[in-house]
A = this chain, B = another copy of it.
Amino acid sequence: MRADARDNRERILTAAEQVFGRSTAASTDDVAKLAGVGIATVFRHFPTKVELLEAVLTLRLQRLRDTAAELAGGSDPGTAFFEFFDQVVAEAGSKLAIAEALVAAGSAPGEHARQAGQEMRQAFGELLVKAQRSGAVRADAQFPEVYALLVGASRGATATGLDLEVRDRMLAILYDGLRQRR
């Protein structure tokens, strides 16, 4: 691939992430304009709009997976688990698209996104198990409901009108539920 083509591909992805971050209903022209390329260039790199959306989704899921993996290597398992939860919800609070990505992670269309979603869930699952072994999270919680809570909290955060204090109090209540029953 020629150097200018690679550059454009990067620019398009970056622009798409920003544009679709606001609304996935945005047009391909908008992405092209923000990227500073022609429409045809967008379609040359991503043959359909769905494939472009998929690429953006995959990127986001991979980043979340990396964050989880990074935290897993860190200090306290309990801290790592809640830290990840915090970070995801914080991001989702300002970017609706992240929340949507989480929902889509379960039943993602397309091979790349599906795999990225699976890896992210896998990494989050490991954070959960370690936190449970350390006693920071109740042992009777299973992955599906904890993931559902992550998705829900992300959506709930966007409903707070971006009020950080409300968001933190919401999470405090949720975390009380997730912690080990005495």
Contacts and interface: CB of A to CB of B under 8 A. Distances in A.
Contacts of A149: 152, 156, 170, 173-174
What is the count of identical protomers in the complex? 2
Interface stretch (A4-12, A29-37, A62-70, A138-146): A138-146
A173 B159 CA distance: 21
A178 B169 contact: no
A141 B173 contact: yes
A160 interface: yes
Given A169-B141, A181-B176, A152 B161 contact: no
A157 B145 CA distance: 9
Contacts of A160: 144-145, 148
Contacts of A158: 103
Contact count band on A: 35 or more
Contacts of A138: 173
Given A177-B174, A178-B177, A159 B152 contact: yes
B163 A159 contact: no
Contacts of A159: 102-103, 106, 147-148, 151-152
The winner among A146, A154, A166 for most chain B CB atoms within 10 A is A166
A175 interface: yes
A151 B156 contact: yes
10 contacts: A99-B155, A106-B159, A106-B161, A141-B169, A141-B173, A144-B166, A148-B157, A148-B166, A149-B156, A152-B159
Nearest 5 A-B pairs (CB), nearest first? A152-B156, A177-B177, A152-B152, A155-B155, A145-B170
